[in-house]
Structure 1
Amino acid sequence: MAWDEWEQMKAAAAERHSTHMQLNQMVPDSGGSAPASGAKTGTGDDSGSLRHTNGPWGRAADTADDLKTSTESTKKSLQSSHTGVSSGASGLASLSALKTVLTSWENRLEAVRDECESLDPKLRAVAKDMGETDSTVAAKARAVHVSEGDKGQ
């Protein structure tokens, strides 16, 4: 294959793949211009802007809080169901095993409760920090001035 043929093939391939990259990753219309203001961004809304939501982080924090509450109530329920067992079951060989199991479950539930208690504020802080980061980046992006002639390139 001659060098000229190779160059022609490369040029033809480049023409076929000459879409312009957009910051929002949208392919420009067939005219090669950027999407019109308010065009869909693939997020399901027509605002044309990226939006941050702390929904996943907030839901994770809510779940951690719910788990903390439910493990505490489960521990109390477990303790109350064992009340009186030691006095009414004296002489049973399984009493010491039952107490060991109760203690083990209380320790496990306390560990889960404590972990969830420590995660809740951390997850909420991430949601807040991510929102603040998005606001800072948005402000910096708004500060960039683009001349009319450069738009759509």
Structure 2
Amino acid sequence: MAWDEWERLKEQAAGQHPTRLRVDGLPESGGGGGAGTLRHEGGPWTRAAGTAGDLRTSTTTARADLRRSHEGTADGLTGLACLGALKSVLASWDERLGRLRDECGSLEPKLRQVAVILGEVDAEVGNSAEAVTVPGTRRGE
């Protein structure tokens, strides 16, 4: 969009009554808009990161418990067909829990970074919006 077209659109908008934004479940803002704020909060992302970290820790513990519970089992089952199945199940769960632990370990810092990025986006968008001047209005109104 060309700069003069943008300026013309801003001038036209300044001569009109502001459109009110209404979000379901929230009261309508009074006056000329801008009374409310829409913000991304870091809380949910930070909590999700904490949950991923907790899950990584508990998965590591479960994996160690699973291995420990199978120690010595082979001695009592030598020659039985179920020994092969038991070893197969142990290997399968050990592998699954290891992948889950690794995924949670990878996910935790990414979720924390999202919280940081969204906070930075809020500030950046707010600064950009404040920089726009509309003819016939004063900044801060």
Same fold (TM over 0.5): yes
Alpha carbons of 1:101 and 1:149: their partners in 2 closer, same or farther (altered >3 Å)?
A: closer
- Which structure has the bigger radius of gyration? 1
Q: Structure 1 residue 51: deviation in Å?
A: 2.9
Alpha carbons of 1:139 and 1:110: their partners in 2 closer, same or farther (altered >3 Å)?
A: same
Instruction: Extract unaligned runs of 5+ from structure 1.
Output: 1-17, 40-47
Amino acid at match of 2:76: G
The 3-state SS of whatever aligns with 1:136 is helix
Provide the residue aligned with 1:131 in structure 2: 119
Alpha carbons of 1:111 and 1:121: their partners in 2 closer, same or farther (altered >3 Å)?
A: same
Contact 1:34 1:151 in 2 (8 A): no
2:87 aligned residue (99, 109, 130):
99
Provide the residue aligned with 2:73 in structure 1: 85
Q: Residues of 2 paired with 1:55 and 1:111: CA distance? A: 27
Amino acid at match of 1:21: T
* Identical pairs, percent: 47
Provide the residue aligned with 1:115 in structure 2: 103
Q: Residues of 2 paired with 1:82 and 1:149: CA distance? A: 74
Contact 2:46 2:112 in 1 (8 A): yes
Q: Structure 1 residue 20: deviation in Å?
A: 3.8
| Number of residues of Structure 1 aligned to a counterpart in Structure 2 | 120
**Higher RCO (CA < 8 A, seq sep 6+):** 2
Provide the residue aligned with 1:68 in structure 2: 56
Provide the residue aligned with 2:7 in structure 1: none
Superposition TM-score, scaled by structure 2 size:
0.71
Provide the residue aligned with 2:11 in structure 1: none
Amino acid at match of 2:19: M
Instruction: Extract unaligned runs of 5+ from structure 2.
Output: 1-15, 23-27
Q: CA RMSD in A?
A: 2.8
Amino acid at match of 1:98: L
